[in-house]
């Protein structure tokens, strides 16, 4: 009973993994443990206490924690109506029963494989031209056809086993220039390499091109000041630069032999911004762009002769981003990364734009430039996510993990099949203090014998919370940087990070340890578990009187605001709909998943919409100090934007830092005047060639 199919899902019981037609689903361990146990005993109701004993073996958990896990399981399966359950039936005092019809996967896969070719060809022939007028009936058939193709092709891939391998690759340095570099483009003959770089701290992002034959690096001067630009080599002689001039998009076509003046300038008035461009076929180029009237980044087909744009990729999401598109060498497929509520690698067939593969990416602490794609040949796609690199074969549907832990800022391929990358060299972590009004200028650097795990402000003036690693343990210290004085309050075997300090009781500390929310009472030394180990806490804060702790978590597609009562040591769900939740005086500050902030009253009703809006799909940090709301948000052009909103006067200020690296964390001082920047330096990267072994 290793592989089971039920509804639109496949369950790998042994590996404890579950898949849908969209690929593997991200699921907490206990959720899938409960699912497997209910299926194993599907002939009867399983009592709540039995789940306690069999799934949470040797651990004491509350009934609420078990019921919450069941709720998450139902949300995962789309089984949210208890009156008409699809998979999980519950009955008072009897427990829960799995009522789906799980079938061994082997027989159903064989049937799908037998009919796959006929189904795909029939459906592809029946899909209408998206630009033609369609009736409601034809639209239904279109989506039905798309769903059938997903079942026949996408599901067939995502359920294939992952294949670890000893295949290796090495990197050969071509040139090493200090500074941060992203978005690499290589000419078909491999001679020219173009990228966007920030080569020193005194200037912003600039466009560069490197001539391998002459060993010459040239900075390209644009006819206007642009915060960021994207470079794309279209052929051995032509370079396209995409940038934004104020609120207008700008595309410049250059001859590589004369980069002083563009040969042609295109100013598409319908776009707010344009991004990466990809050479497609002859006079056609694919351009990543955002229309002024829309919120999603998609690709458009640009005719360089007529300067007209036709939408090329489509998304049903109202706030998604398509990027890092790469076309296969035989022009029969293209792959891209799509980001909405999740991050996915997608592969399409070019002839009919049918989706043939879709897989989730676990982003965690990765940034956009660490999600990279490159074609090795017409059948094999290289997928690089942080320090992990995999090879996907679109014919066999197999994935192979390649050994190596290199991180890349970009990947690119020339016509001969050579793959090049911007290899990020490991750097140290830097801690420094800056004035909130001038984030580009460091006021003070903090030096340590070895880099600490975290450094955050304390409510006590002139003191900081310092977490250090000491051999096999981690210590929490109250640290005075002027004198070097340290007082140790807590020692743990696992690393942790301080999140918040009590308002009325500064001896109370909230921290995150192994993704678990805990409370330390420094007066007693007691550590209390606030959130269940299976809860994915996104944001946590103390109530103004410190009696309660608020935190948000995502269950299925919904954000829940929970409250933990310190006196009764119990938690409950308050309401839904907000990703960020902060108490302020007699009100609350909340932000929805779209990044819009609101002021709520004590009954959690909206009083007014605030001016602050963030992009939660990119890195962000939020702090509330008195009546000042602070936020830092990484933008698409990789500059950090800093916001201050006075909740009393409604004064709203915004400024930009152009020298802070992408991987920066922040701690805001309690007087609102300064902040600490914790910078994971990746300021040096090498242009390298990737060499693969004979396998």
Of 5, 132, 21, the residue nearest 358 (C-alpha): 21
- β-partners of residue 582 are 589
Computed from CA positions of residues 149, 152, 156, 158, in that sequence, does the dihedral angle turn out positive or negative? positive
Element containing residue 264 per DSSP (H, E): strand 264-266
Segment 17-24 mean pLDDT: 76
Model pLDDT for residues 559-607, shown as the tens digit of each residue: 899 999 999 988 899 989 999 999 999 999 999 989 999 999 999 999 9
Segment 11-22 mean pLDDT: 81
Of 119, 228, 127, 136, the residue nearest 182 (C-alpha): 228
SS3 content of the chain, % helix, strand, coil (to 5): 10, 50, 40
Model pLDDT for residues 323-382, shown as the tens digit of each residue: 999 999 999 999 999 987 678 899 999 998 888 888 877 655 555 567 899 999 999 999
What distance, in Å, lies between the first and last C-alpha atoms of the chain? 33
d(CA 159, CA 21): 9
132 has a pLDDT exceeding 50? no
Pick the CATH number of 429-616+663-680 from 3.40.50.1000, 1.10.10.10, 2.60.40.3120, 2.130.10.10: 2.130.10.10
A 10 A CB-CB count for 301 gives: 16
What pLDDT score was predicted for residue 671? 87
36 has a pLDDT exceeding 70? yes
Of 383, 381, 512, the residue nearest 453 (C-alpha): 512
Segment 464-473 mean pLDDT: 88
Percent of the chain exceeding pLDDT 90 equals: 40
Rg (CA), the chain: 27
Which CA distances in Å does 580 have to 394, 467, 543, 627, 641?
40, 25, 14, 17, 19
What pLDDT score was predicted for residue 165? 52
Percent of the chain exceeding pLDDT 70 equals: 87
384 has a pLDDT exceeding 70? yes
Give me the CATH code for the 3-101 domain, please: 1.10.10.10
In the chain, CATH 2.130.10.10 sits at 429-616+663-680
Segment 419-424 mean pLDDT: 91
Better-predicted residue by pLDDT, 403 or 601: 601
What pLDDT score was predicted for residue 154? 36
Lowest mean pLDDT among 24-38, 58-72, 145-159, 639-653: 145-159
Segment 410-423 mean pLDDT: 94
Spatial strand order in the sheet of 229-233? 229-233, 238-245, 248-255, 264-266
DSSP state of 152: I
Instruction: Extract the tokens encoding 626.
Output: 């008195």
What pLDDT score was predicted for residue 201? 60
Instruction: Extract the tokens encoding 650.
Output: 């409604």
Segment 50-70 mean pLDDT: 85
Residue with tokens 């563009």: 262
d(CA 585, CA 309): 51
478 has a pLDDT exceeding 50? yes
Contact in structure between 656 and 639 (CB atoms under 8 Å): yes
d(CA 58, CA 64): 17
d(CA 193, CA 208): 8
Q: What are phi and psi of 149, to 5 degrees?
A: -65, -40
Contact in structure between 101 and 43 (CB atoms under 8 Å): no
What pLDDT score was predicted for residue 554? 83
What pLDDT score was predicted for residue 121? 29
157 has a pLDDT exceeding 70? no
Model pLDDT for residues 194-236, shown as the tens digit of each residue: 999 887 766 778 999 999 998 889 999 888 888 789 999 999 9
Instruction: Extract the tokens encoding 322.
Output: 């398509």
Contact in structure between 350 and 331 (CB atoms under 8 Å): yes
Element containing residue 48 per DSSP (H, E): helix 48-55
What pLDDT score was predicted for residue 147? 36
d(CA 548, CA 602): 14
d(CA 536, CA 169): 35
What pLDDT score was predicted for residue 223? 86
Residue with tokens 């996967």: 105
Contact in structure between 604 and 588 (CB atoms under 8 Å): yes
Segment 660-672 mean pLDDT: 85
- β-partners of residue 179 are 684
What pLDDT score was predicted for residue 146? 36
- Reading phi first (left if > 0) and then psi (alpha if -120 to 50, else beta), residue 204 is in beta
What pLDDT score was predicted for residue 155? 33
Q: Judge residue 114's burial from the number of C-beta atoms within 10 Å of its C-beta, 0-12 exposed, 13-18 middle, 19 or more buried.
A: exposed
What pLDDT score was predicted for residue 341? 67
A 10 A CB-CB count for 687 gives: 24
Model pLDDT for residues 243-253, shown as the tens digit of each residue: 987 778 999 99
Residue with tokens 């069941």: 70
Which CA distances in Å does 494 have to 464, 512, 514, 537, 667?
20, 10, 7, 18, 21
What pLDDT score was predicted for residue 294? 86
145 has a pLDDT exceeding 80? no
Contact in structure between 23 and 153 (CB atoms under 8 Å): no
- Reading phi first (left if > 0) and then psi (alpha if -120 to 50, else beta), residue 405 is in alpha
What pLDDT score was predicted for residue 369? 67
Instruction: Extract the tokens encoding 87.
Output: 């998979």
641 has a pLDDT exceeding 80? yes
Segment 400-417 mean pLDDT: 87
In the chain, CATH 1.10.10.10 sits at 3-101
441 has a pLDDT exceeding 60? yes
Of the pLDDT bands very low, low, confident and very high (cuts 50, 70, 90), residue 310 is: very high
Instruction: Extract the tokens encoding 44.
Output: 């009867």
Pairing of the two strands 162-178 and 399-403: parallel
Of 481, 473, 428, 351, the residue nearest 663 (C-alpha): 428
- Mean confidence (pLDDT) of the chain: 82
Pairing of the two strands 496-501 and 103-104: unpaired
Segment 633-649 mean pLDDT: 89
Which CA distances in Å does 235 have to 239, 350, 393?
7, 21, 27
User: CA angle at residue 175 from 171 to 179, to 5 degrees?
Assistant: 105
What pLDDT score was predicted for residue 293? 82
Of 640, 621, 639, the residue nearest 631 (C-alpha): 621
Better-predicted residue by pLDDT, 154 or 81: 81
Half-sphere exposure of 653 (CA within 13 A, CB side): 11
d(CA 505, CA 510): 12
Q: At what angle do helices 136-149 and 105-126 cross, to 10 degrees?
A: 140
Segment 450-469 mean pLDDT: 89
Contact in structure between 650 and 599 (CB atoms under 8 Å): no
Better-predicted residue by pLDDT, 469 or 285: 285
């Amino acid at each position: 009973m290793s592989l089971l199919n039920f509804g639109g899902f496949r369950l790998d019981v042994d590996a404890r993994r579950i898949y849908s037609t969209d690929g593997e689903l991200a699921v907490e361990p206990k959720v899938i443990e409960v699912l497997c146990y209910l299926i194993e005993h599907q002939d009867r109701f399983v009592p709540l206490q039995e789940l306690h004993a069999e799934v949470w073996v040797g651990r004491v958990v509350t009934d609420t924690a078990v019921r919450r896990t069941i709720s998450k399981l139902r949300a995962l399966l789309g089984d949210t109506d208890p009156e008409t359950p699809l998979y999980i039936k519950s009955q008072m005092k009897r427990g829960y029963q799995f009522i789906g019809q799980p079938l061994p996967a082997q027989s159903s896969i064989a049937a799908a494989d037998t009919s796959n070719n006929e189904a795909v060809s029939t459906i592809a022939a029946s899909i209408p031209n998206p630009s033609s007028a369609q009736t409601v009936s034809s639209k239904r058939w279109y989506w039905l056809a798309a769903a059938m193709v997903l079942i026949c092709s996408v599901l067939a891939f995502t359920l294939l086993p992952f294949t670890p391998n000893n295949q290796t690759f090495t990197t050969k340095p071509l040139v090493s220039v200090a500074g941060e570099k992203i978005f690499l483009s290589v000419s078909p003959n491999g001679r020219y390499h173009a990228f966007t770089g920030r080569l020193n701290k005194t200037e912003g992002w600039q466009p560069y091109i490197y001539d391998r034959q002459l060993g010459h690096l040239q900075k390209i001067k644009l006819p206007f000041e642009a915060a960021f630009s994207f470079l794309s080599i279209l052929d051995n002689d032509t370079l396209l630069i995409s940038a934004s001039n104020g609120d207008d998009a700008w595309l410049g076509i250059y001859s590589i032999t004369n980069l002083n003046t563009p040969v042609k300038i295109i100013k598409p008035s319908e776009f707010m911004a344009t991004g990466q461009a990809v050479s497609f076929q002859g006079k056609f180029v694919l351009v990543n762009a955002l229309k002024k009237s829309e919120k999603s980044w998609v690709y458009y087909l640009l005719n360089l002769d007529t300067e007209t744009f036709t939408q090329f990729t489509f998304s049903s999401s109202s706030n998604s981003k398509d990027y890092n598109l790469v076309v296969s060498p035989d022009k029969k497929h293209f792959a891209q990364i799509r980001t909405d509520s999740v991050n996915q690698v997608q592969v399409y067939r070019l002839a009919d734009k049918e989706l043939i593969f879709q897989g989730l990416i676990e982003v965690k602490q990765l940034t956009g430039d660490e999600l990279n794609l490159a074609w090795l040949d017409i059948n094999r796609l290289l997928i690089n996510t942080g320090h992990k690199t995999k090879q996907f074969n679109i014919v066999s549907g197999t994935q192979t993990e390649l050994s190596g832990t290199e991180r890349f800022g970009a990947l690119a391929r020339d016509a001969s099949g050579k793959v090049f990358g911007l290899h990020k060299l490991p750097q140290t972590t830097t801690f420094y203090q800056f004035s909130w009004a001038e984030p580009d200028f460091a006021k003070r650097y903090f030096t340590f014998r070895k880099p600490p795990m975290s450094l955050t402000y304390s409510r006590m003036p002139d003191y900081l919370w310092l977490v250090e690693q000491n051999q096999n343990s981690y210590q929490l210290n109250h640290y005075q940087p002027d004198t070097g004085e340290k007082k140790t309050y807590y020692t743990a075997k696992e690393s942790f990070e301080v999140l918040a300090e009590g308002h009325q009781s500064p001896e109370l500390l909230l921290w995150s340890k192994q993704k678990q929310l805990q409370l330390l009472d420094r007066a007693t030394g007691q550590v209390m578990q606030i959130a269940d180990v299976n809860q994915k806490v996104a944001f946590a804060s103390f109530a103004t009187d410190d009696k309660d702790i608020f935190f948000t978590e995502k269950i299925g597609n919904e954000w829940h605001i929970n409250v933990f009562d310190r006196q009764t040591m119990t938690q409950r769900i308050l309401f839904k709909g907000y990703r960020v939740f902060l108490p302020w005086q007699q009100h609350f500050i909340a932000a929805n998943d779209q990044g819009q902030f609101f002021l709520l009253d004590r009954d959690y009703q909206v009083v007014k919409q605030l001016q602050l809006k963030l992009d939660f799909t990119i890195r962000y940090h939020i702090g509330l100090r008195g009546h000042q709301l602070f936020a830092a948000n990484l933008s698409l052009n990789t500059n950090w934007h800093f916001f201050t909103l006075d909740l009393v006067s409604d004064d709203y200020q915004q400024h930009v830092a152009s020298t802070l690296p992408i991987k920066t964390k922040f701690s805001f001082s309690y007087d609102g005047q300064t902040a600490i920047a914790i910078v994971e330096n990746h300021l040096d990267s090498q242009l390298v060639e990737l060499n693969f072994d004979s396998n």
